[in-house]
Amino acid sequence: MADVEDDRMALLRFVERFGLVLREAGMAPMPARVLAYALADDADHYTAGDLARGLGVSPAAISGAVRQLVQVGLLVREREPGTRSDLYVLDDRDLWSRFMTAELASLRRFEEAVAGGVELLGTERPGGRRLAETRDFMAFLHGELVDALARWPAERDRLAAERNGAPVPR
């Protein structure tokens, strides 16, 4: 049954590849790997040990990673009574909506920083005008993203219905 081993390797390769993209998007390496792994592996909940063994890293590394993921809401920590380990579950319904909602907070900081600059410089000088336009664009984008996220659930259901309503005939 080397196939199982091969699958595991393939999964880990994907985890690294996807993790890299997540890192480029600003996520720390270890949380990125854990997230990718929890997404792509088939379990619906993981203990810290599962993650450590699955990824082949030390439990210490997992500890920090899950803390961050829980903090930003990408992972939920649960506790089954009569057990010694926390369970981490990837609440996959609307996962990415929630992720993006969190990202919007950083866009918000962006807006605030720029608004502070506009206040500092006024809108008469060229620099101030450029900043003001930047601020306007960020506000616009923010609004558009909020709208888009609000549309997603409906779009998601539409896609699902489409696939179920006209499944591949056999």
Considering only the stretches 54-62, 118-126, 135-143, 149-157, report the one whose residues sit in contact with DNA under the rule CB under 7 A: 54-62
Among 13, 17, 67, 125, binds DNA (CB under 7 A): 67
**Is the CB of 21 or the CB of 148 nearer to DNA?**
21
C-alpha dihedral, 3 to 8 to 13 to 19, nearest 10°:
160
Considering only the stretches 24-32, 119-127, 135-143, 151-159, report the one whose residues sit in contact with DNA under the rule CB under 7 A: 24-32
Considering only the stretches 76-84, 90-98, 104-112, 135-143, report the one whose residues sit in contact with DNA under the rule CB under 7 A: 76-84
Signed CA dihedral, 86, 90, 94, 97: sign only? positive
Sequence-distant (≥ 6) Cβ neighbours of residue 16 within 8 angstroms: 33
Q: Is 57 in the site for a copy of itself (CB under 8 A)?
A: no
The SS3 call for residue 41 is coil
Neighbour count for residue 67 (Cβ, 10 Å): 12
Q: What's 146's DSSP letter?
A: H
Among 26, 165, 167, 169, binds a copy of itself (CB under 8 A): 26
Q: Is 60 in the site for DNA (CB under 7 A)?
A: yes
